[in-house]
Structure 1
Amino acid sequence: MLGELLAWIYLHPEESSSVAELARRFKVSQSTVSREADRLAEAGLIQTERRGNMRLLRADLTGPLARPLTELLALTYGPSAVLADLLPALPGVAEAYIYGSWAARYSGEPGPPPHDVDVLVVGDVDDDDLADAARDAERRLGREVNVHRVSVASWRSADDPFLTSVRSRPTYAIVEPGDPR
């Protein structure tokens, strides 16, 4: 629970989250979240603020651990981890990539946390299955997940300007060609 809590706070640094909403999200008691928040605040990893009877938690981005911790949490709890849990299980997925802002962050390009996740799925996968996976990912990540599906032939072709653009920028592989499933 501690890793998930820390990941939520650090991967949503633009937000302050209340103890109550985090307890609901992680299906634990408010006292459990509050106890973990005390430990994280004492370690200098989060900031806490009181607004009336609400206790708000926010990532402390001023410390020396903020950047490497955010990168580690993004890899272990962020879009790459969530999508790697969901997409390989879908029949017909030949390849899958994160592209756009999240891929740029994973490749080291600086910038603010992206507001959504762009995913390219290559193969002949059922649209309903993809939509279900996207909704599950959105729920787990707290961010919109935009899935674009293309055929293997389209991905291999150089004719599509959109795919040419995707290939010219950073991508992060979720399912690579030939991944055993």
Structure 2
Amino acid sequence: MRRRAQRDEDVALLARLLFVSRRPTSNSQRERGLVAASKAAGNPLSSSYKLRDIIQFVDKSPTPSLLPIFRSQQQAELLAVILGDPTAEHSMTELAERTGVPYASVHREVERADAAGLVSSRLVGRTRLIRADVSSPYFAGLSDVLVKAFGVPWVIGQELARVEGIDAAYVYGSWAARFSGEDGDRPVGDIDLLVLGELDRDEVYAAASAAEHRLGRAVQVTIRSPDWLTNGSGTFHDTVAGRPMVPVPMATRTAREDQSPTTAQPPRRDRRN
């Protein structure tokens, strides 16, 4: 009985951390959703568990349009960064800078993730360093979902970091629109990537193939000159420039990242519209 009670407590905590609807729903609808989520994790909630004990914190930020099963966009982005690289440690300040999330919100989300056993932390002087807790039974599944849904810019940035001559890169199209909060009728398919610079095209295509391998979806590359966004013209230019674009951070690669595959698929030609 004690083990069962602890199991129910753990699953309920994870449900509270992740699955809170942004739209008004009845208690019975929310309870059915939470029970379904817990069953998917292999830990069905006991029938005696009270809904009011599950939903205690409702974040004011909207549920992300990109994958609207998480409580907030901020939560999903932060967890994607932390769980996406289990070897890395992050300070609160670094997480705030990388994601653009206010420091206070970072602190709140880290505390919730820590309480759910998704992250661990240690103090170095007065700095708290946070990293993924790979011993969590939820780590493998959650990290895979979060990185593929929300970690697109960081994964692409890691792969492009070895390519010389890149001035800037942006994710555009349906993924960028959802990431920016726009709703859509269909799930996001391919990732549209715009790369600006004087560069080796084959190296860019190889990096895109490596990103495809990690993200589990095709990355469609468009290469243009460094000043294309500023001085370009035409229907394609106006469409891209007039819609949401998410900058790709050019991260410094680590030795471990350099081992990622670079030929997952043959390089594809860029779009010429």
Higher relative contact order (CA 8 A, sep 6+): 1
Deviations 1:90-132 (A, max 9, x none): 1010110000111112211123541111010001121111111
Structure 1 counterpart of 2:193: 119
Deviations 1:66-87 (A, max 9, x none): 2424454456632111012122
Which whole-Å CA distance do the structure 2 matches of 1:114 and 1:75 have between them?
A: 20
Name the CA shift for 1:143/1:114 in 2 (closer, same or farther; >3 Å).
same
Structure 1 counterpart of 2:14: 43
Structure 1 counterpart of 2:222: 148
Which structure has more strand as a fraction of its residues?
Answer: 1
The structure with the larger Rg is 2
SS at match of 1:83: helix
The CA deviation at 1:89 is 2.7
Which whole-Å CA distance do the structure 1 matches of 2:215 and 2:77 have between them?
A: 15
Which whole-Å CA distance do the structure 1 matches of 2:241 and 2:252 have between them?
A: 23
SS at match of 1:102: helix
TM-score of the superposed pair, with normalisation by structure 1: 0.58
SS at match of 1:66: coil
Query: Which residue type is aligned with residue 167 of structure 2?
Result: A
Q: List runs of 5+ in structure 2 lacking aligned partners.
A: 1-9, 19-36, 43-54, 59-68, 83-146, 254-273
RMSD of aligned C-alpha atoms?
Answer: 3.3
Query: Which residue type is aligned with residue 66 of structure 1?
Result: F
The answer to whether the 8 Å contact 2:173/2:243 transfers is yes
Q: Percent identical across equivalent pairs?
A: 37
Which whole-Å CA distance do the structure 1 matches of 2:14 and 2:245 have between them?
A: 34
Structure 1 counterpart of 2:178: 105
Which whole-Å CA distance do the structure 2 matches of 1:131 and 1:138 have between them?
A: 10
Number of aligned residues? 130
Query: Which residue type is aligned with residue 100 of structure 1?
Result: G
SS at match of 2:223: strand
TM-score of the superposed pair, with normalisation by structure 2: 0.40
SS at match of 1:152: coil
